[in-house]
Every structure is written in C-alpha cells, then in structure tokens.
C-alpha cells in the first residue's frame, strides 16, 4: 500500500461497500462524554511541562485545588487524582467503608451498576434498589428503607446524580431530605461524573459527604482527572475505616495539598487545562451554564417528540440537561443507525449500554455546545434516521429551532461563546 492509500485508510470514512473517502468539515462529537475540548483549554494544556516540585507548580496546585471548590460549591477539601472517574469511585469506597459494611444504592442505569460492582469487589454488602433504567433514584423508597434500618446497618447511601447511560437525573436535594427524615446517620455519596459543571449541584448545601466527579464531561477537559469532594464527616470516617489504600488515600492527599503539591506525580498539563476550564465556567456564570444546558436539552427533546420517537427517561422532572436517550422503534437496531449516521454525516452518537444496548442511542448536549452546534447535530440525526430507514416524522430540527427561537424572543439569555 502506498503512502497516499495509507493516509486515506487512516483519515477517511469507511463506507459499507468498502470504499473510503476523506470527510471534510468538523466531526460532530455528540456522545455524552468525553465532550469536545474547547480551543482555549487545548492551548492551556499545550504549555511546556514544568517541575512538579517547583514553586511555580505549587502556585498552580493551590489555585486549582481552591478554584475546584467553587464548582462543587463547597468549602471542604477537594482532592484531584490522575485517573478516570472509576478511580474516584474506588477512592470514595476505600476511604470510608470497611469489609462487611452495608450500603444502599439505586439501580438507575449502567453506571450505577458499575459502582455497585466495584463496592462488591471490596467486600461491601450492597442493597441495590431495583430500577427499570427510565428514571432516577426515588427519594421515598430510600427514606422507607432507611426508616426500616433500626439497627443502623446501612453505612452509606450511594447515588448517581446524572445517569449517563439513560439521561435520567436523581433529585439529590430530595434524597438528602429523605435521609434526614429517616433520622439516619449514613454517609451520602454522589457520583457527578457527567453532571458537574453542567447541572446545578451543591455539595455543602445538600450535605453530601463524598462527591465523585471526572474531567471529561462538563469540565470540557480530556479524560484523565478525577475528583473527590469530602465532608468533615467523611474525612473523619477515613481515619478509622478498615479498607486498605495507598494511591487513593485522602489523608496523604489532603496533607500535602495544603502546599499545592501532590504525594505523587500529578497530571501537570491537565491541571493547566482545569484552571482554564474553571475560568471559562465563571466567565459565563455557573447559573448561565446550567440554564444553557436546560435550554438545549429542551430543544433536543422537542426534536425527539416531533420525530415521533420516545425519550428513554419517562419523568420530565428527571430528564437530563446533559444528554437525551432516545428509544428506537421496535425491530430497528440503534447501533446500525449510529453506524450509518457516522459514515454518512460524520457525527458520533452515544451507544446504548448494558440492558439498553442496541435499543437506545444517546445525544450529548453538554460542555462546549450552543444552539447552532445542537441544531447541526440534530440535522445529522434526522438525516441519519432517513438513511437508516428508521420510521419517523420529519420536522424535528424545525421543532428544536422553534423552541430556541421562541426562548430568545421571550428574553432568555443567548448561549455564550465558550471557546
């Protein structure tokens, strides 16, 4: 194979018939994370690597550790790991629980199931409230179970805020009230991997004990950083629990973080990107960021309704500002549709995971996304539905455009530029 053919093989799109061609224009990355990385953040990450034991790095470390608190809305410590969100899941467990402890979790989707599996591997007994993957965790069910737990065997309640596999959010403030109404001392742990920086979240006000998050969603960074925001109650628990840890140990982290440094080599350049990402969120204003995500999500759901398709999340109050899961009509495969849409229109849509594999596709509308980005993505989806022979009505893009246009006419703030 000559050099020209090799280049085409690497850079071109492969069609079902075997031929390839070079796709022009931008690729639409509309999966619900990793989300597109803005140019400002890419430029920040491209800074030269510096000595992670230098005074210059210490200043960077102190800045990002303090600034991160503003996104979690906490005055308590936030630790940053060079890892994916899975590492932060593990850190939350090994710093607070002991083998044989019981925790209460809700089966809201694929990622709640994975967090459950990690807990089991550490010898934790998990009471898993069953769910149909079409709604968030139910505060009333959690309150009832905690009220029954007279012996206080349950040591933690663990909930995914935004279930990335389904597009359903859980009502964290209401779950906090449910725990309080039961008078239960359990720790409250929340996964915000796909919601932080996109959906309103209040670690201190909602008295969350451990908030887990990651860099590659609403923070608009590449994968590679994860976070634990830690309450005083959780930090106290970490001094006496029995699970071993080294890399994930909060005690080591918090002690050296006070000087801006880390107990091992940090992801230096991603921290430059984190500094820029937090600055961008505050330039737009967190409330404006949250309103933008809600507005774009409503437009996406208007398109789905106009197509005659069904949103996976059944409760409108729990439908995610971050992504929309769409059910395929019976007899039609979501992965085949996604493949055809990628090949023809250069757009990546999220696949169905776990129980909904092949039955659902997911449209991400988070991070660096505005009205025109969303409308371009919805155009690709609508054309892809036609190309794949999926039964639908036309006019979804028009419905989304009308919602966004009417919102602008009613004085809603336009989506701010984020790049």
Same-domain check for residues 278 and 308: no
Q: For residue 188, is it within any domain?
A: yes
Q: Are 119 and 126 in contact (CB under 8 A)?
A: yes
Calculate the alpha carbon distances from 374 to 31, 217, 396 in Å: 12, 16, 12
- Using CA atoms in the order 219, 221, 226, 230, what is the torsion angle rounded to 10 degrees? -30
Looking at 247, 282, 317, which one is the last position of a domain? Answer: 282
Specify the pLDDT at position 1: 47
Specify the pLDDT at position 406: 86
Mean pLDDT per block of 10 residues along the chain (419 residues) reads 44 51 86 97 97 98 98 98 98 98 98 98 98 98 98 98 98 98 98 98 98 98 98 98 98 97 97 98 98 98 98 97 98 98 98 97 98 98 98 98 82 44
Q: Tokens in use for 284? A: 């737009």
Annotated binding residue at 245?
no
Q: How far is CA 54 from the centre of its chain?
A: 33
Q: What is the DSSP letter of 160?
A: E
Same-domain check for residues 256 and 313: no
CA separation for the pair 360, 43 (Å, rounded): 35
Residue 101: which of 93, 109, 113 has the closest Cα? 93
Q: Which domain holds residue 331?
A: 3-30+285-409
Specify the pLDDT at position 19: 54
Rounded to 5 degrees, φ, ψ at 414 are -70, 160
DSSP helix/strand/coil, 198: coil
Angle, helix 55-72 to helix 268-284, in steps of 10 degrees: 40
Looking at 223, 257, 282, which one is the last position of a domain? Answer: 282
Specify the pLDDT at position 11: 46
Residue 195: which of 168, 157, 156 has the closest Cα? 168
Same-domain check for residues 83 and 208: yes
Looking at 282, 300, 323, which one is the last position of a domain? Answer: 282
Same-domain check for residues 200 and 223: yes
Specify the pLDDT at position 23: 78
Query: How many structural domains are present in the chain?
Result: 2
Same-domain check for residues 306 and 267: no
């Amino acid at each position: 194979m000559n050099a020209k053919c090799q280049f085409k093989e690497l850079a071109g799109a492969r069609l079902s018939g075997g031929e390839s061609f070079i796709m022009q224009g931008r690729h639409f990355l509309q999966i619900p994370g990793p989300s597109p990385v803005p140019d400002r953040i890419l430029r920040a990450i491209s800074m030269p690597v510096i000595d992670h034991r230098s005074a210059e790095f210490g200043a960077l470390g102190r800045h990002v550790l303090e600034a991160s608190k503003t996104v979690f809305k906490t005055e308590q410590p936030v630790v940053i790991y060079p890892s994916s969100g899975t590492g932060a899941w593990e850190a939350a467990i090994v710093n607070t629980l002991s083998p044989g402890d019981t925790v209460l979790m809700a089966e809201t989707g694929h990622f709640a199931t994975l967090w459950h599996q990690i807990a089991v591997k550490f010898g934790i007994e998990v009471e898993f409230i069953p769910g149909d993957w079409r709604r968030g965790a139910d505060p009333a069910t959690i309150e009832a179970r905690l009220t029954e737990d007279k012996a206080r065997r349950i040591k933690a309640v663990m909930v995914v805020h935004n279930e990335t596999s389904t597009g359903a959010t859980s009502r964290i403030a209401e779950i906090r009230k449910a725990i309080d109404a039961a008078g239960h001392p359990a720790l409250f742990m929340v996964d915000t991997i796909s919601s932080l920086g996109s959906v309103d979240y209040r670690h201190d006000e909602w008295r969350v004990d451990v908030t887990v998050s990651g860099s590659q969603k609403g923070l608009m960074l590449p994968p590679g950083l994860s976070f634990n925001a830690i309450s005083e109650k959780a930090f106290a628990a970490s001094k006496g629990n029995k699970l071993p840890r080294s890399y994930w140990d909060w005690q080591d982290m918090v002690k050296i973080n006070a000087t801006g440094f880390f107990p091992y080599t940090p992801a230096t350049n991603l921290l430059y990107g984190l500094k820029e990402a937090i600055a961008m969120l505050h330039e737009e204003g967190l409330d404006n960021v949250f309103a933008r995500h809600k507005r774009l999500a409503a437009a996406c759901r208007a398109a789905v309704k106009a197509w005659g398709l069904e949103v996976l999340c059944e409760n409108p109050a729990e439908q995610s500002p971050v992504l929309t899961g769409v059910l395929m009509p019976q007899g039609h495969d979501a992965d085949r549709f996604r493949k055809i849409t990628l090949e023809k229109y250069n757009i990546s849509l999220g696949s169905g995971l776990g129980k909904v594999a092949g039955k659902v596709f997911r449209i991400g509308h988070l991070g660096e996304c505005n009205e025109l980005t969303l409308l371009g993505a919805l155009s690709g989806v609508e054309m892809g539905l036609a190309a794949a022979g999926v039964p639908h009505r036309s006019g979804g893009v028009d419905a989304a455009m009308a919602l966004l246009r009417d919102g602008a006419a009613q004085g809603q703030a336009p989506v701010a530029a984020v790049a």
